[in-house]
Structure 1
Amino acid sequence: MKHRDVFAVSALALIAAMPAYGQESSRPLAAAPQDDSTSRADQAGDNQDQDIIVTATKRELTLLDTPVAVSVTSAQTIEQAQIRDLNDLQSVVPSLRVAQLQSSANTNFIIRGFGNGANNAGIEPSVGVFVDGVYRSRSAAQITDLPNLKRVEVLRGPQSTLFGKNASAGIISVVTAEPSFEFGGAAEATYGNYNAVVLKADVTGPISETLAFSLAGNYNRRDGYVKDLALNDDTNNRNRYGFRGQLLFQPSSTIKFRLIGDYDKIDENCCAVGNIIDGPTGNAVRALGGQIDSANPFSNRVYTNRASTNNIKNYGISLQADFDLTDQLTLTSISSYRGVKLRTNQDSDFTSADIIGANANRTDIDTYTQELRLASNFDGPFNFLLGGFLFHEKINVEDDLVQGTQFRQYVNLLSNNAIPTVEAILGVPVGTFFPAGTGLFDKFRYRDNSYSIFGQADYEITDGLTFTAGLNYTRDKKKVASDVTSTDAFSALDFTAIGRQVLTQQAIATTVGQALGLPGQANAAQIQGFAAAQPAIFGQIQAGAAAFGAANQSNAAVNPLLALRALQFTPPFLNFPNAVESGKTDDDNLSYTLRLAYKANSNLSVYATHATGFKASSFNLSRDSRPFASDFIPGSPVTNPATSPIRAAGLALPNLTTGSRYAGPEKSSVYEVGIKGQYSNFAFNIAVFKQYIKGFQSNVFTGTGFSLLNAEKESVFGVEFDGSVTPVRPLSLNLAVTYLDPKYDSFDNGGAIGPALTVVPTNLTGTRPGDIPEWSVSTGATYTQEINPDLKLLLRGDYQFESKTRIANGALDISRKVSQINLAATLEFANGLQISAWGRNVNNQRYLITFFPAVAQTGSISGYPSQPRTYGLTGRFKF
């Protein structure tokens, strides 16, 4: 699709929508409305007379009357398009990107190009995910296969004044069905390629006149689509299940309680990594007998010497209570506890050689939240919502990076067998360095306590014209303690100091040998004899040799030991808190929303918004958690230790490097204008915006850890259009287009792939951030034909497109382009039975999700390929 064609579609819609718009007030929402709301695509078809109900503003509003940029995907659309999980949601919401990375639990959500939070447990996501009003703080708690979905709302831009948990980039709100006082339910079974079996069922009904229940369960199993030729097994499989129970207690028309408990488990072998660049270390791997599917990331073949472990337990309970205090005031309370237990292990060298013995992670997350909201329903021009939110979270992380049985041989190959030589120089036993089982063992203890007070008020200035103002004050306190131990003795060696000693001794031996007329260097006995016989001359030789050693200790051309520093993979770690680093952050912020909305008539509305958002500081709970450069000066010697607080406090360790302990807070802002129209056979939304984040928390994977840095300012200009049209009654067409023009306005010390194909500090100011396509398009068609009064045929096709974009900043120009087709055909019987044949990515288009420097293999690049074509049959029965 050409750029001018995409822009022309949006421009034509904008011209057609020039009349103005306003907003109607509506009653507060005590609980999620029980409707069968549909997306615009559904509405333009058979359901075109139904309004799309949205609860994004904490009120029950139609999409037309919701003056924010929000996409709504209904349960009907999710069923018809065979959207299997939140990963698939991006195929119908082009402003949303979802990327699953090195484990089943690490999924990153990105809206309008902004998003982070996966992989590094110390980072809260910029995109907040809520399920039935409960905040899910980490990606491991966000990827559940939820049964009985009603809709998924995606709010774009900073969200602060209606959600207690401030979100700097956007919100995904998942809404499930409440228990019903009428007996009903559904059962679904799917069989697909790779022996995929998906089972879902839910049942609901009354227990008494005031108490109703619902029970739901899901099971999702699939063989892996990647073959591990070394293990003769498959990987990238699916193996997950979950249960969800609800009670709805409604003793009167003014009081309602909704209790939800859920548990789900994932136990999978994920995620396969393909080789993109087979660098100079590849020959060393092969010399050990290891195998690599060289530079062939889409072959669906890998070689590893142990299967990955992805064991995740996610569970929780929540209670929502709604009280109509009067006809005009409603009080809502949502209390929740959520727990996540994550156990992963990966053969992180991604070869069949036993180089990395283990890369194991154990993470436990316990989250407690309490939200309280008071909302008005006045008949006059003024209405408000006022709330408070408490958040408490405990995270315990343990990481082991362990050297395998062939690691010593591997390092010897890379160093031309220098390791025994170093052992001999130091006089330590052979085998001291790089024995199997040694490495880096991390432990982090993280605590977060925060609260916020938020509110928003609407005032209808005149008929149809409404002014909205809102505030959110957030206070967030975090503290982290580390207990990290490196048992890698080689990585603790100071080759500068050792080199100085070696050069000094060599200079003495050479000079004494010349003085004695020897053909080469003098040995120890000869040096000792010369020193006894000529003490004055020997003193001069010693002084000169020491000066030579000091002058050349950092000269790689003279001190050959410096080349071995590249093999010091797990150097000693300075634990914190310590005398210099407190391990604490204390942030507060006042965010606000200002909006003017005008409803011109029952079909057209416009709005203009300026809003801000906030995310508190995030800690780097990874192996690359290192002191800030302002706290430590690497290298030896340092002439003025007072300028290096860590040295002044006596905390310096050999080979200690700088990095980041934490990233400061994100502060976001958006200026946006929007137009919404809804007619009998045509509907559209347009939003034009300028959005930026100061202090965006850039989290770049370095191979074994993460470079967590603040970009001083990142901004994006964008245009979003989505609409639907029904040219004839059975046919509905929909189109959604997003144009983004992002840049780093200021990022002086970013992390990017350097010429040596490792992550290095890079000035990224003025560059376009990687992994943000200029154009994203989602378009589709739904055709419904009644075959007879008891049978209906529904055909649906979707096309997802992302323009070519560089995946990451730096020296490598590796790009991605997405062009995928999804198809489904469904027979709907009058008795509630549905049979569907479907295919996702039927054109089998493959692309790289992301790439990173290969672990302990400088010069090699690995990456995560996308999923291939999937297809299957689904039977569903509703009663």
Structure 2
Amino acid sequence: MNKNTVNNLPSANKAFRKTLLVSAVLSALSATTLQAQENDVDEAEKGGIERIFVTASKRQTGLQQTPIAVSVTSGQAVEQAKVLDIGDLQVLVPTLRVTPLQRSINTGFAIRGFGNGTNNTGIEPSVGVFIDGVYRSRAAALIGDLPKLQQIEVLSGPQSTLFGKNASAGVISVRTGGPSYDMEGKVEASVGNYNQRLLRGYFSNGISDNLAFSVSGGMNTRDGYSESISGIGDVNDRDRWNLRGQLLYEPTEDATFRFIADYSEIDEVCCTTAGFVNGPTAPAIEALGGLVTSDEDPFSYEVALNNDPTNHVEDSGISLQADIDFDGFVFTSISAYRINDSGFLNDVDFTSLDILVEEANVEIDTLTQEFRLTSTGDNKLDWMVGAFYFDENVDTTGDVLTYGTMARPYFDVLNSFNPATNGLFDTLEALYPALNPGDILGAGSTIANDFIQDNQAYSLFVNFDYHLTDNFTATLGVSYTKDEKEITLESENTDALSQVDFNNDLTVYGVPLYQVFMGQGMPEAVALGTVESLKAFQFQPQMLELPNAAESNKTSDDKITWSLRGAYTFNKNVNFFATAATGFKASSWNLSRDSRPFPSDQAAIEAIPSLQLPNQSYGTRYASPEEATVYELGIKSNFSSVSFNATIFDQTIEGFQSSTFLGTGYVLSNAGEQNTRGIEFDSKFLVTDELTITFAGTLLDPEYVSFVGGQDENGPADLSGTTVPGVHEKSIVAGVTYDLEFDNGIYGYLRADYIYESNVRAVGNIPDTVRRQVNTLNVSAGLNFENGVSLQLYVRNLTNDEYFLTSFPRPIQSGSLQVYPNQPRTFGASISYTFD
């Protein structure tokens, strides 16, 4: 390819060419390091960078020998960086993006720009989350301090061949330490700004020679950092506590049983949103004496609500892992049962007027079972066979929108701005026999929906590692997954306007409504326009329930996925790997108020009189499965004073499940093909015995290759060939740690962590003016004394960096936009005592 050909490549490929250039430079640096330090193996084994072991392949292997793109964060790094929530983890892992949403129970995860899972309970995440081997199906189950954290592994790319449920974009695997036979424990107390109070403790000891236990607990409270300008309480507080107990039983040298029981509770006022654009409806709010937050400074951390947005979550579970060592293989069983019960009440008009309130309760009961047989010993062929079973019930009861006392006055004021619609509701109530004065948008009218989802899934998997030579290993993994869901939807809409059927030529005493308006003196064009205006106010028409005689309320999906990997050991310091793999995620149902029949079911619905609803509309009930494919080339190297890992990848998800919030509900659809090409790398340098530098990053070229039926700010659109919004093309994290050691035995550290995420459009259906860019610096310092006492100081977001987490259209206020501002600067101090 000549120079002119390169220069004429489509602009969409330029970012990827940059990643290849960076890759070449980094590889060259690594090769130089390789040549300069080939003789440092012995020193690496004596000291320097410690060897890291991971379970990414579901057997313990060295990080450098594992042919998977995996980022590892140690428990020590989490402690030193003062990661208090899983959302803070992204400051240490550039390939991971964590986005808190409207409620404490919802957090979105993305790896390499792929991820979903929103306030729509039906959408399971594309990033699978496992804690001590147990799959957690919803982000609500993740919040809580985990004691004795060992490490967190973030696996990039589809992992469906070994992880049996929804790992089409990647996996977050969290591991904690088991009980100890020797007495050990730790207690910690922290204080910080916004009246932060944190207390947690851990204790472990042996009961007998083969039985040990551990108990832990903690509480975390903080005042809200967003002040109300309407006289209610502050928003974005913390009020959490948790308990966890473990038993470790080893009746013989060949058998280990680990039992875990945990309970956590959240009771918070969450979450802060701010006005970005106060559209043409704002004068109507103000005319009624209401308040909206200023759109001049979204980072004023002010809210204008008429009630506290309460969130309550109770999460509990038990698990039992059994590992039994036979001659030549190990049998592993992981059984778990979890209950997640959450509820919320939110002021969803985001003004001080009592217009619209949403509340719901969601209970998720999950049973999982995994069996594995894994070969042991030194074999030419290592193997693993297993099965995974998943049974979950999602019960969303009382998902209710309630019109407040100011709903009707608010819409009356909006109508008064237009002479053609002034007094429109009064006129309609006077003309239409079924309506009484004040019925339309009347206070206390509700839109109530109950959703139940029953989901059973299983997968069977095999994995073979064939050691062709001492230096080259080929790995083949194959998995078969079957996933079935059944949905029940019950709906009741008591708003009088929802009973009015505009699509069937609403008549009053046999006369079309527009003619009635003409009889009141309106010109025909104005009368027709007035009827259309009425349709706009019917923003939540009746919802067709499931099951019904025309639609299926079930999905059944199955797929064979595979992975093929090659790992080459250049020497004890350097390894190369190549991967081709596929992934799968089953259908996700739209469990929101915008769950609408597919257009393909319209004829069948219209043929059954009992299914006729006023103003029946069509959309989507569910999104079809996701199918992922990835190709990777990677290098992993580890020397006495430097380690470097890099992966070049080309990853595609066909049928990516896109969920877009429109202000009252969600549009759930499948992107034809979403592709991301790029490079991710991480490195660690021991500059001196005291000074350590870490540097990692992800460079991406995200694109909707095809997406007909997507959403932009103007509504349905063809997004094919456009850049995926919300995905940063460049993400960089850098850390510096300086270890301190004094003659009296005291040792400590100074640490700084910086994250940069390049400027990007925040959300696809929001104007491009809402953008996100991150430049955040965290610092911490600690001292450890010989008597077990430790002191720590920390500051998160030292520079008070300001950016938006995401954005959405403000409900029932056309032209208005809300944003989620990031958390402001927080700081604190802690003291702990470790004993053994």
Task: Tell me the equivalent position of 2:10.
Answer: none
- Residue identity opposite 2:212 in structure 1: A
Q: Which runs of 5+ in 2 are unaligned?
A: 1-14, 35-42, 417-422
Give the alignment of 1:244-259 within 5 angstroms: 244-259=244-259
Q: Which amino acid aligns with 1:72?
A: V
Q: Secondary structure at the match of 2:601?
A: coil
Name 1:241's counterpart in structure 2: 241
**Corresponding position: 1:485 with 2:492:** yes
Equivalent position amino acid for 2:779 in 1: L
Distance 1:293 1:278 in 2: 8
Question: 1:843 is matched by which residue type in structure 2?
Answer: T
Change (3 A) 1:510 1:762: closer
State the 1:808 CA deviation: 1.3
Q: Following the alignment from structure 1 to structure 2, what is the Cα–Cα distance between the partners of residues 366 and 66?
A: 34
Q: 826, 832, 835: which is aligned to 1:876?
A: 832
**Deviations 1:32-78 (CA, angstroms, capped at 9, x unpaired):** xxxxxxxxxxx999973521111111111111111100011001101
- Say whether 1:856 aligns with 2:826: no
**Residue 753 of structure 1 aligns with which residue?**
713
Counterpart in the other structure of 1:691: 651
Q: Is the 8 A contact 2:335 2:369 kept in 1?
A: yes
Q: Which one of 647, 660, 682 corresponds to residue 722 of structure 1?
A: 682
Q: 1:283 to 1:502 in 2, by over 3 A?
A: farther
SS in 1 for 2:441: coil
Distance in 1, matches of 2:45 and 2:827, equals 25
Give the match for residue 15 of structure 1: 28
After TM superposition, the structure 1 = structure 2 runs for residues 80-479 of structure 1, keeping only pairs within 5 Å, are 80-295=80-295, 296-326=297-327, 328-356=328-356, 358-398=357-397, 399-416=399-416, 417-427=423-433, 428-479=435-486
Distance 1:631-1:47 versus aligned 2 partners, 3 A rule: farther
| SS of match in other structure, 2:359 | strand
User: Would you say the 8 A contact 2:506–2:513 is kept in 1?
Assistant: no
Distance 2:516 2:758 in 1: 65
Matched, 1:594 2:553: no
| Aligned-partner Cα distance in 2 for 1:4–1:374 | 43
One-letter code aligned to 1:684: F
CA contact (8 A) 1:499 1:559 kept: no
Matches of 1:136 and 1:677, distance apart in 2 = 32
Counterpart of 2:579 (choices 609, 614, 620) is 609
Alpha-carbon separation, structure 2, partners of 1:318 and 1:232: 42
Q: Which residue of 2 aligns with 1:525?
A: none
Residues 825/182 of structure 1: CA separation in 2 closer, same or farther (3 Å cut) = same
Q: Percent identity over the alignment? A: 44
- 1:294-346 deviation line (CA, Å, top 9, x unaligned): 213211111111101100000000000010011x2100000000000011010
Deviation at 1:500, TM superposition (A): 6.5
Q: 1:52 to 1:419 in 2, by over 3 A?
A: same
- Counterpart code for 1:312: V
The answer to whether 1:740 aligns with 2:740 is: no
In the TM superposition, residue 184 of structure 1 has moved relative to its aligned partner by 0.3
Task: Give SS of 1:90's match.
Answer: helix
Give the alignment partner of residue 630 of structure 1, picking from 600, 614, 630.
600
Counterpart of 1:215, as a letter, is V
Q: Which amino acid aligns with 1:622?
A: S
Using a 3 Å threshold, how does the CA distance of structure 1 residues 498 and 812 change in structure 2: closer, same or farther? same
Distance 1:46 1:240, change over 3 A: farther
For 1:286 and 1:510, how far apart are their aligned partners in 2? 30
Mark the CA change 1:786 to 1:425 in structure 2 (over 3 Å): closer, same or farther.
Answer: same
Contact 2:459 2:481 in 1 (8 A): yes
Give the letter aligned to residue 376 of structure 2.
N
Corresponding residue of 2:3: none
AA aligned to 1:874 is S
Shift of 1:558: 3.6
CA offset digits 1:164-191 (Å, max 9, x no partner): 2241000000100000111101111111
2:742 maps to amino acid = I
Alignment of 1:829 onto 2:817 = no
1:583 is aligned to 553
Match of 2:758 in 1: 803
1:187-225 deviation per Cα after TM superposition (whole angstroms, max 9, x unaligned): 111111101011111011100111000001111100000
The CA deviation at 1:430 is 1.2
Q: 1:646 to 1:834 in 2, by over 3 A?
A: same
Shift of 1:13: 2.1
> Could you tell me which of 763, 773, 787 is aligned with 2:742?
787
Q: CA deviation at 1:131?
A: 0.4
Cα contact 2:500–2:506 (8 A) shared by 1 = no
Whether contact under 8 Å (1:130, 1:174) holds in the other structure is: yes
| Secondary structure at the counterpart of residue 630 of structure 1 | helix
RMSD: 2.4
Q: Which amino acid aligns with 2:575?
A: S
Match of 2:725 among 770, 774, 777: 770
Q: Which amino acid aligns with 1:422?
A: L
How far did 1:7 drift? 8.2
Tell me the TM-score normalised to structure 2 length.
0.93
Give the Å deviation of 1:810.
4.0
**Partners of 1:187 and 1:7 in 2: how far apart?**
48
Once the two structures are superposed, the pairs formed by residues 460-609 of structure 1 within 5 Å of their partners are 460-498=467-505, 558-609=528-579
Tell me, in whole angstroms, the C-alpha distance in 1 between the residues paired with 2:707 and 2:642.
43
- Equivalent pair of 1:475/1:589 in contact (CA under 8 Å): yes
Task: Tell me which residue corresponds to 2:590.
Answer: 620
Contact preservation (8 Å) 1:118, 1:139:
no
Cα displacement string for residues 602-637 of structure 1 (whole angstroms, at most 9, x for unaligned residues): 0000000001111100111100101112222xxxxx
- Specify the alignment match of 1:35 in structure 2: none
SS in 2 for 1:830: coil
Counterpart check, 1:645 vs 2:604? yes
Distance 1:434 1:44, change over 3 A: farther
Q: State the AA in 2 paired with 1:254.
A: D
Structure 1: how far apart are the matches of 2:516 and 2:771?
56
The number of equivalent residue pairs is 802
* CA distance in structure 1 between the partners assigned to 2:593 and 2:512 by the alignment: 36
**Which one of 712, 725, 740 corresponds to residue 672 of structure 2?**
712
Q: Assess if the C-alpha contact under 8 Å between 1:580 and 1:645 holds in 2.
A: yes
Cα pair 2:730 2:757 within 8 Å, conserved: yes
Residue 320 of structure 2 contacts residue 336 of structure 2 at CA under 8 Å; is this kept in 1? Answer: yes
Equivalent residue letter for 2:626: E
Q: Deviations over 1:393-444 (max 9, x none)?
A: 0111020000001101111111223110111121432112122111210001
8 Å CA contact retained: 2:392, 2:455: yes
C-alpha deviation, 1:492, in angstroms: 2.5
Report the CA distance shift for 1:503/1:820 in structure 2 as closer, same or farther (over 3 A): farther
Q: SS in structure 2 opposite 1:442?
A: strand
Matching residue of 2:9: none
For residue 499 of structure 1, report the CA deviation from its aligned partner.
Answer: 5.9
The structural deviation recorded for 1:11 is 3.9
Instruction: Name which one, 1 or 2, has greater alpha-carbon Rg.
Output: 1
Secondary structure (helix, strand or coil) at the match of 1:415 reads: helix
> Bigger shift: 6-15 or 396-405?
6-15
Q: Distance in 2 between matches of 1:505 and 1:245?
A: 69
Query: For residues 301 and 430 of structure 1, do their structure 2 counterparts lie closer, same or farther at Cα, with a shift above 3 Å needed?
Result: same
Aligned to 1:76: 76
Does the 8 Å contact 1:46/1:729 carry over to 2?
no
1:539-562 deviations in Å (ceiling 9; x for gaps): xxxxxxxxx99xx8xx77744221
* SS, match of residue 482 in structure 2: strand
Structure 1 residue 19: Cα displacement: 9.6
Which of 664, 671, 686 matches 2:624? 664
Name structure 1 gaps, 5 residues minimum.
22-42, 514-519, 522-547, 633-643, 755-759
Q: For residue 725 of structure 2, what is the amino acid of its counterpart?
A: G
